Structure 1
């Protein structure tokens, strides 16, 4: 019996040694994985820190339209030349139907009636670099960076450098998703300043202006839906319909989604749905 116990003990020791050798590679892999994860997190924190520094410099330079700074600004060659020439041409004429109808005052509404800002004095120039940055932050949820972008845009407009209409319309929807109605209204105003300053000499210019205007109104509908201004939203919707255009699918989805669960608003949502099917 003593011999049997010794043999079992020896077998148990050998088994533990074998298991230890078998587990060694896995332990090493696990250790390496933890080390790599820690290194990756450190790299991520470094990138975030450096990115924040870059954005701080970028916002300042773009706000001042300082093309001589260290931040590389987009060159005109990065744009389609025909599109760039249309975007940077100015006209004293205001937006006229069918591209923009005048908004009528609705005395029964409870909101402050927005006024389409026409006519406008042509501004100094489009801030193309800041416009590209605004487009890159489309529907962003980073409120800190959006606030910094808003301040940069505001300062740029004070100096006569406006965003393009498409960039302003992107910010309309972006601020709308975050329910920042004051920023929405200011970007809407800026968008119409840009539209009023686009050329209308050729058919392509007029088509570009019409497309941009439709996009501005469409995104204003989305923004107002998210902010809960459903009565005001109807004005912009009717403007599109009366101009033989129509909101895009996303705008109809926003109208239906944000209609309140009352009898009247549910009926309005159903009406929007039926209208969307027709268009």
Structure 2
């Protein structure tokens, strides 16, 4: 759906892998020593350089680069790696204070890196995805969903339980989620997904499963923030046959139509 959406997902994933040893240092039960911090800084340097190159690629569109934005992104990553060495110097004899300082820094960087990455614009392109490509199609839809900043709304009368592990597993828990479907049967719709939806509702900050009448469900639409996409088939069949994953009308009036579908439905969870 968008090369940049896929690159964004990869960049965030690799940032998590880059700082995983730092998080381990910050949140382990027994605080590490100063030399442990300095050693980790040295060990992470090659991975940091690789991530910097990946960031520069993400920020480049043809011959143009978003240099201001990518410098902010890179600065956050370099900052957290270098902070391990700085803390070893500033707290030479106090392992507990050093660890608490690193904890605060890690939590701040995790938020700041998403905000910085999201300043790079992502352009969406409609695609007709060929039959026999279910995995490639899944990746494209997942990339689009994981790019969400504020909300993911999915409208599908045949929604089934596989949607949850496939598309919501990695979604930030503060993103608003609305799943709109029909009563269905034991295989799809509210009857099929109610149990897993009740679990999701306990974990996501703003989650609703909405039941609507079949007459109100004509198309399969995916709304990500203010952008609306049309799927030619349900996500459980996407890629098994030709799938049109297209940017749809995302005007205010089009969004209001989807809002009305939600408002006229019944909240199940």
Flag whether TM exceeds 0.5 (same fold): no
Into which bin does the TM-score normalised by the smaller protein fall?
Answer: under 0.3
Higher relative contact order (CA 8 A, sep 6+): 2
- Pick the structure with more helix per residue: 1
Q: State the structure with more CA Rg.
A: 1
**Relative to total residues, which structure has the larger strand share, 1 or 2?**
2
TM-score relative to the length of structure 1: 0.25
TM-score under structure 2 length normalisation: 0.25
